[in-house]
Amino acid sequence: MKENIVRKPVQRVHNVLKAYDNTDPHWASVVDCGLIPSILYLGQLIVGFFGGWPGPIIPKLRDPNESPIPYRLTETELSLVATMTMLGSIPGPYASGWLSNSIGRKPCIIAGGVLSVIGSAILAAAENLAMLYCGRLLLGFAGGIISVMIVVYIGEIASTSIRGILLTGFGITMTVGSILLFSIGPYLSYFRTTSVGLALAIAFTFGAIMLPESPTFYIIKGYGIIPHTIIGEMFTPNVRSNGSTLSLSIAWVFGFTVNTVFGVLIESVGGHLAFWFFSSICACAFIFTIFYIPETKGKSLLEIQELLNK
């Protein structure tokens, strides 16, 4: 019995993903033609580019004629400049893993792009050791976010037939980024080499803004946000502010009440009766919604008011 309770919602999610995977021509076209993978791979190109950045740049930092730093750096300081991205990348996956289930995959990818832009801009404008450390730390943190989110995003949006191929390109693109760096780094100045990475980061960020959100994230979030959306649509303009305030206040009061009495109910009447009690309240809300809440999707505020007045 317990197995069925757990399995049915999971099976429904799998069914939705299977239907989307096989029947959505728009998603299939943009993924198969390479538009979305190209944007995502650009992010991994940046990770590879700045991952290999110390190779051609550290010798320039040792050379007083090429280094943007007005004083000589010790070998220990140069080693930290090289490895600072590794330190910064440690919290990146943890932060993105938590945030991606709260705000979505797309915002996390955009955040990774923005941090890459800031980090590479700091490196390009570096005039002291602190700026080098700061830029490398930010790029490491951004790289941790981008690397995790690209794998998650591709795994969720790619059709079964091409998912493996697209995920394979993840590692290849990172290597291509390093190859690009070593192709231009020895021949360009510190500033110009770093500016190439900055340009790539800017292009990736703008591309990430155009990405659609992963459908899996919408499935995870479910319909819980819909009541909050309806609150802003149901009231007439003259009472919308007060009505929204009252509705949310009542919701918070009930939330406080449920969290306060839940443990007491479990101890006093047992788990079965407690859950039957809360289930009956949900059933009443379900019936009320069917008969009294109009469908607001695709309707103007005026049309919604007309439906409510019938």
Each residue of 250-283: pLDDT tens digit?
877 887 888 788 878 888 888 888 888 888 988 9
132 and 206 share one domain: yes
Question: What is the domain count for the chain?
Answer: 2
Residues 203 and 63 placed together within one structural domain of the fold: yes
Q: Are 215 and 250 found together in one domain? A: no
Residue 259 lies in a domain: yes
Same domain for 164 and 142? yes
Report residue 3's pLDDT band, with 50, 70 and 90 as the boundaries. very low
Domain that residue 152 falls in: 23-220
Please state the rounded mean pLDDT for residues 62-73: 89
Residue 54 included in any domain: yes
CA–CA distance, 257 with 250 (Å, rounded to integer) = 10
Q: What is the pTM of this model?
A: 0.67
Question: Phi-psi bin for 299: left (phi > 0), alpha (psi -120 to 50), beta?
Answer: beta
User: Are residues 85 and 142 part of one domain?
Assistant: yes
In a shared domain, residues 195 and 301: no
Transcribe 107-150 into DSSP letters.
Answer: HHHHHHHHHHHHHHHHHHT--SHHHHHHHHHHHHHHHHHHHHHH
Pair (228, 214) in one structural domain: no
Q: Is residue 120 part of a domain?
A: yes
DSSP classification of residue 223? T
